[in-house]
Structure 1
Amino acid sequence: MNRVRLSMLVWLVATAAFGHEGHQPLPTRGVQLDLKSGKISLSRSARELIDVRTAAAERRESIERLRAYATIVAPWTKYAVVTSRLPGRVVALHVRPGDAVEAGQVLAEVDSLDLHTLRLDYQQALNDIDLSEKILAGVEPAAKAGSISGQKLIEAQQAHRQNLNTLQVLQTKAAALNVDEGTLATDEESRPLRLPIRSTVGGVVVHADLAVGKFIEPTEHLMDIVDLSTVWVRIGVLEQDWHRVAAGQTVRLTVSGLPGRVFETKVDKLGLMLDPQTHQSIAWAELPNSDKSPALRPGMNGQAELSWKSPKPTLAVPSQAVLSDGAERYVLVEEAAAKEGSEYQKVAVVVGRQSAGHTEIIAGKLLPDDRVVTRGGHELSSLFFLGVLRIGAETARTIGLKVEPATTRVVDRILSFDGALDVPPQQRTTASSQLSGKLVNIRVDRGQSVKAGEVLAEIASLELQDIQLELLRNHLDSELWSGTLARLRNVSDSVPRRQVLETEGRVRTLETKSANLRQKLLTLGLTARQIEGVLKTKRVVDALPVRAPIAGAVVDFDRMLGQVVRADESLFEIHDMSQVRVQAFVGERDSARVQVGQTARIRLVAHPDLETDGIVTRIGPVVGADSRTQAAWIEFKQPPSVSLQHNMAVRITLTTDSPASSLAVPLNAVVRDGLRSFVFVQKADGTFDRRRIELGRADDRFVEIKIGLTAGEMIATSGVPQIQTAYAAVR
């Protein structure tokens, strides 16, 4: 055993007898070191002078964390705006901001001219029915007695049925507007006719732009109602961090408006589209609110900390116990502790993540309950300064060291471009309503997969109501005239031929119009069964369905319940991610060098460890006037196994030529110090030398070596930045 006293070490290592900045100086007596075995012996006085402290290694849950900005938003189905279905003047207001309301509760009442017109038409229909009924009662006996022709009876019957049909259509219209039919039969003084404005959701009135006497339009935003029992947390995650996020991770939320409070929840959904402006994607979480005093309110901003644990507890030590000489990581383990002195063993370790003041130990000859030096270690570590750069096996694992021989390789001539993931237009679409109306129901959630034709939302539309009423009126008229035609044919001898032909023409016209109206409703999204139900029950379908044009996932929605939307206004965005391609932005001067069929290497910012190949399949015909770039589309040879999103940033490399091979090394093997370049060469004894080299041509993977290296020499190709740090410490 090569034991030397500290007085000899002072001669070997200039720094050994002096304290590091902020640490105690080493004693000049009572210290023994065995460099070969890595063992240090301290006398009692030396141990006390350095003030050595130890702590036990223990198994702990390793936790990784990610911070991001967050915003509180209301769930899609818990925030609603209030609008009126008809124009009119507000005559009663039953709530004010801050009031709690229930779904369906009357918030205000409107005096609408349209309702008065409906009442007038209804009462006129009742009068017409009364009159036609009396006329028919007088005509029927006369027709039986033969004093009048059968044609007169048919005309009286037809007039009465037309009046009944008119009343039926008006009753259907009143039901669609939630107007009591009994009110229509009375006058204004006895029973005033008012349109009730009801709440779509239960919650609290947070805004009201309404006053008695104000005239309002159907498109006007009157009130906001929010149910604060549950809120969503919208977490914006940077693209380069997206690969670290997963559903189920713990979220600790702090908001600016509630200092000192921390809210804990979990990530429940992940966004499916990247914002091209902010380069963020969205992780969603949900939080309950207090029923009596909701603390979290939509619009609040804060910070979310996402955290996730290792699959099982790992061995960890206090972070100050981990020592380093640049690349080497080790701890000093207390092997013997007595009153007269102590012994400590240098143990190389592979370290992992740091969390809560502890460092994870991935590998090394360290066991649970081993006591490691947590104070005084920096002073003792100076004893192991060797003056050479040697990487132990455990340290090699820590830094991911890889050593391989320098060899000849093909260094391609390349073109490099920025790009973005692109979902083809036929697989990326929006869903919208074909008629203007009020959004009354949302049937899908964030990121939900939907089938083509599936109902996403429902729109209450007066135009839809009018089309159904027109179909119902036309259907009733068609039945009436078909019956009239049958009766005319039965008495054809006493009826002019022209009248029969005119009736036949009218029946055909009504049937054609009914068929057209049916097709129109089918095109708008109603099913054949729903249309038959309208004709059978004499009740209209309340809302128009908004259906998914394609199968895919809902990636975007930015509307509120109760909001009035225009026809063809985009409501939902749906992406089918089964076939994603890359769009490259080729600079104008390089466009002639890009050809269909070229192989491309593709790297994603969101998934830095992924490299995959693709083929150029199409090149755009024009150069952008502002960007001065030409689009080229690249298809993946093999779809990546990671989750992809539209607009994810991509780096593309195209090979334009493959010259003869030459001596080359991976790009990661080269370190730069100012304008000079170096590689780390491993010698026969396992130590490393930093050697200056002269570089030649480079592609996206390798760089040519012109001077300074010969084929077969062993060089470090990964873990090089850590070796450079160790080299600086040794030097």
Structure 2
Amino acid sequence: MGLFGCGAELGAETETPSESVAEAAADSPMEHAAKHLDPKYVCPMHPQIIRDEEGTCPICGMDLVKKLMDPMTGKYPEVALTPAVVQTLGVRTAAVERGTLWKYIETLGRIAYDETRLAHVHPRAAGWIESLSLRAEGEPVRAGQELAELYAPAILNAQVDFLLAQDRNAADRRRVSEDKARNILRLLDVPDDVITAIQRDGEARNRVPIRAPIDGIVTKMMARDGMYVTESSEMFTIADLSQVWVMVDIYESQIDWLSEGLSAEMRVPARPGRTWEGKVDYLYPELDPVSRTLRVRLVFDNPDLALKPNMFANVVIYGGPKREVLKIPAEALIVTGEREAVVRVLGDGRFQPVDVVTGMQRGDEVEILSGLDEGDEIVVSGQFLIDSESNLQASFQRMSGVGGSGASDDDDAGDTGGGMTAGGSHAHH
């Protein structure tokens, strides 16, 4: 029974598949092929009612309509609806038109640290932390600000060697030794002003300062007073938040025109009424195998530190206009996972599903690459029921022999026309 049937019993009036097969087997190949190229008459409401001549439907009494089935065309069966059914289904239509699609993507993102603006502070020699200046994580620091002092025997020994090389009356090779000793102190991260003070005072210092390399916020603090640390110990992590990254995921169908340098706009729920302008900084090299999305990194300036890492953000990436594209309303598209289709209006209450190839989708509009022409009228509401009815018709016609079941000479034609409709039928049932 079709989707729009009234549920009445078919009784003796309905032809069974076995009867159709028996009739087909009794025909010669030429007679069988001729029958399938002749007009068939079907009920608009009950596509299982198929006759070789005009008449009325034994179920609902409607006049049978002519239908020429050519399985070699590979088209979906037409669906004929009365005006009353069209009104009941709320069928709405729209025209296929050419126009401009603005290339932009709306997506959600998450604010993250700019990893190029992170500083990890390690000691250059093993020793003990003394006189810790910071109290807790989250404190702002300036470049050059003292964070703690370190007592390290290796640094103290390097200072002694540097002082021994200070004899001004020594030969040139002793001067080279002084430069080498100074460079060793620098490699041990002893600040230049401290080296100058050591040289001026002629005294080694037991503790040397550990200073912040950049302006930022202390996001990790592992150091504690009296703690023994080695070169592998991360004492502090400092993040410069004057610029942040925003990580977004872009669907596979939207990445064709993405490129580095495109402009982007961002809003965050935590700061209503404000917008930030940034740009696409990097497109990662692979898609997520589960979500089928591409990770994209954006960069935004954050001078007042209003943007905090791990905030959610609403992001729009702009790519400019794509002109003179064939487009349809997105609501008209039927996507099953196996095919993309629309229902085209043929006129006089007749409709037919058509497979299409889509391109870019922007908001409520979709680009059509093939399958439709400018000016075609398509269904934008009620198309799923019409598509399902067309697939049911195809199934019934194959069962009754119209779509290509029965004698061997018709089998190839049935495969040609039936394969497409079968795919659609599986998608809906």
Question: What CA distance in whole angstroms lies between the structure 1 residues aligned with 2:112 and 2:286?
Answer: 18
Larger Cα-atom Rg: 1
Structure 1 166/302 Cα, relative in aligned 2: closer, same or farther at 3 Å? same
1:78 to partner: Cα distance: 1.5
- 2:56 aligned partner: none
**What is residue 331 of structure 2 aligned with on the other side?**
319
Give the Å deviation of 1:48: 6.4
Map 1:188-267 to 2 at 5 A: 194-228=207-241, 229-231=243-245, 233=247, 247-248=258-259
Deviations 1:52-75 (A, max 9, x none): 655455446679999999876544
Go from structure 1 to structure 2 and tell me whether the alpha carbon gap of 1:390 and 1:289 turns closer, same or farther (over 3 Å shift).
Answer: farther
How do 1:497-508 and structure 2 match up within 5 A?
none
TM-score (norm. length: structure 2): 0.54
Q: Which residue, out of 47, 67, 80, partners 2:119?
A: 80
AA aligned to 2:181 is L
Q: CA deviation at 1:195?
A: 2.3
Equivalenced residues, count: 352
Aligned-residue offset at 1:367: 1.0
Q: Tell me what 1:351 maps to.
A: 356
**Does the C-alpha gap of structure 1 residues 377 and 172 become closer, same or farther in structure 2, counting only changes over 3 Å?**
closer
Does the aligned pair in 1 maintain the 2:405–2:414 contact within 8 Å? Answer: no
Q: Superposed, which structure 2 residues align to 1:231-380 within 5 Å?
A: 231=245, 233=247, 247-248=258-259, 268-272=281-285, 283-288=295-300, 290-297=302-309, 311-312=322-323, 313-317=325-329, 319-320=331-332, 330-332=343-345, 346=351, 349-353=354-358, 361=368, 362-364=370-372, 367=375, 374=380
Instruction: Give identity over the alignment, percent.
Output: 17
2:157 aligned counterpart, secondary structure: helix
TM-score (norm 1): 0.35
Matches of 2:175 and 2:319 in 1, distance apart? 70
Counterpart contact for 2:334–2:342, Cα < 8 Å: yes
Q: Please state if 1:182 is matched with 2:219.
A: no
Gap change, CA 1:297 and 1:32, over 3 Å in 2: farther
Contact 1:247 1:269 in 2 (8 A): no
Deviation at 1:297, TM superposition (A): 1.9
Contact 2:111 2:244 in 1 (8 A): no
What are the Cα deviations for residues 71-99 of structure 1, in whole angstroms up to 9, with x where unaligned?
A: 76544421221011233333333444222
What is residue 17 of structure 2 aligned with on the other side? none
**2-side partners of 1:161 and 1:374: how far apart?**
90
What corresponds to 1:113 in structure 2? 153
Query: Structure 1 200/59 Cα, relative in aligned 2: closer, same or farther at 3 Å?
Result: farther
Secondary structure at the counterpart of residue 302 of structure 2: coil
Identify the residue that residue 25 of structure 2 maps to in structure 1.
Answer: none
2:184 is aligned with 1:170: no
In the alignment, is the contact (CA less than 8 A) between 1:16 and 1:383 conserved in 2? no
Question: What stretches of structure 1 of length at least 5 have no aligned partner?
Answer: 1-9, 18-27, 134-158, 335-342, 392-679, 693-707
SS at match of 2:217: strand
In the TM superposition, residue 331 of structure 1 has moved relative to its aligned partner by: 2.7
User: What do the CA deviations read for 1:380-429 (whole angstroms, capped 9, x no partner)?
Assistant: 899989956799xxxxxxxxxxxxxxxxxxxxxxxxxxxxxxxxxxxxxx
Contact in 1 for aligned 2:44/2:79 (Cα 8 Å): no
Looking at structure 1, the residues matched to 231 and 293 of structure 2 have their Cα atoms a distance apart, in angstroms, of 36
How far 1:344 moved relative to its partner?
A: 5.3
Residues 109, 315 of structure 2: 8 Å contact kept: yes
8 A contact 1:83–1:197 mirrored in 2: no
* 1:180 partner SS: helix
Give the deviation of 1:205 after TM superposition.
0.8
Secondary structure of the 1:689 match is coil
RMSD: 6.4
Deviations 1:581-602 (A, max 9, x none): xxxxxxxxxxxxxxxxxxxxxx
Shift of 1:221: 0.9
- Deviation readout 1:480-527 (Å, 9 max, x if unpaired): xxxxxxxxxxxxxxxxxxxxxxxxxxxxxxxxxxxxxxxxxxxxxxxx
